Amino acid sequence: MTGLFLQTIFNDLIVIESANSATPESIQAIYHSIINSLLSSSKLAVPANTKNYFKFWWDEKLDELKNKSIASCRIWKTAGKPRSGPIFNMYKKDRSAYKNVIRESRLDENRVYTNDLHEALLEKQGTAFWKCWRSKFDSNKRKISHVDGVTDASVITEHFASHFEQELIRR
């Protein structure tokens, strides 16, 4: 995707360079085109789900308990939502069992990571250890907050434009 989007920008750069018509405005426009191309490519190609989106710990037992809980809930609602009696007791029992197994499965998720991490460290499997570590603890929110000590986006853009303008003058 990036190759497709960036090729047109590259062609624009070649035209600007061959015409020797680089201006801060044209460089800024190219800069914004590159950013938009990368963002568009990212939206099209990179899944936007968080690492906890898929419940890898979900299993058939949870499916069965969920279906049983839904069925008893429907029966309870059809009966007029009684607050006591066998229908109410069955509804509460099924709902409670479902919630308890979900809670246990979530706790097991943390135990599994901890055990995997411990085993990878003991066996000194660097790649496996760090993969497990990053999946649990790393935040992938690494953003560039400054360039050459400057944090203002417009000033960074001006530095970018002047740098490439000087490069064009040197040629």
Is the pTM higher than 0.85? The answer reads no
**58 and 30 in contact (C-beta within 8 Å)?**
no
Residue 53 inside a domain? The answer is no
- Does residue 71 sit in the same domain as residue 129? yes
Residue 44 inside a domain? The answer is yes
Helices vs strands, H then E, count in the chain: 6, 0
Residue 54 inside a domain? The answer is no
pLDDT above 90 (res 155): no
Domain span including residue 131 = 60-137
Domain count, the chain: 2
- Does residue 68 sit in the same domain as residue 122? yes
The whole-angstrom separation of Cα 156 and Cα 122 is: 46
- Does residue 69 sit in the same domain as residue 125? yes
- Does residue 85 sit in the same domain as residue 121? yes
- Does residue 165 sit in the same domain as residue 118? no
pLDDT tens for 29-85 read 999 999 999 988 888 887 766 555 567 667 788 899 999 999 999 999 999 999 999
Residue 40 inside a domain? The answer is yes
Residue 116 inside a domain? The answer is yes
Residue 132 inside a domain? The answer is yes
- Does residue 69 sit in the same domain as residue 131? yes
- Does residue 79 sit in the same domain as residue 124? yes
Distances (CA, A) of 139 to 36, 50, 84, 144, 145: 23, 11, 48, 14, 16
**Within a 10 A sphere around the Cβ of 132, how many other Cβ atoms?**
21
**114 and 106 in contact (C-beta within 8 Å)?**
no
Dihedral class, residue 149 (left if φ above 0, else alpha if ψ from -120 to 50, else beta): left
- Residue 145 has phi, psi (to 5 degrees) of -100, -15
**64 and 34 in contact (C-beta within 8 Å)?**
no
Beta bridge partners, 150, equal 147
- Does residue 68 sit in the same domain as residue 89? yes
- Does residue 84 sit in the same domain as residue 128? yes
- Does residue 64 sit in the same domain as residue 125? yes
- Does residue 15 sit in the same domain as residue 68? no
What are the DSSP calls for 48-109, one per residue?
Answer: ---TTSS-TT--HHHHHHHHHHHHHHHHHHHTT--SSSHHHHHHHHHHHHHHHHHHHHHHHH
pLDDT tens for 84-138 read 999 999 999 999 999 999 888 877 766 666 666 666 667 766 777 777 667 666 6
- Does residue 90 sit in the same domain as residue 72? yes
Residue 166 inside a domain? The answer is yes
Residue 55 inside a domain? The answer is no
How high is the pLDDT of residue 138? 61
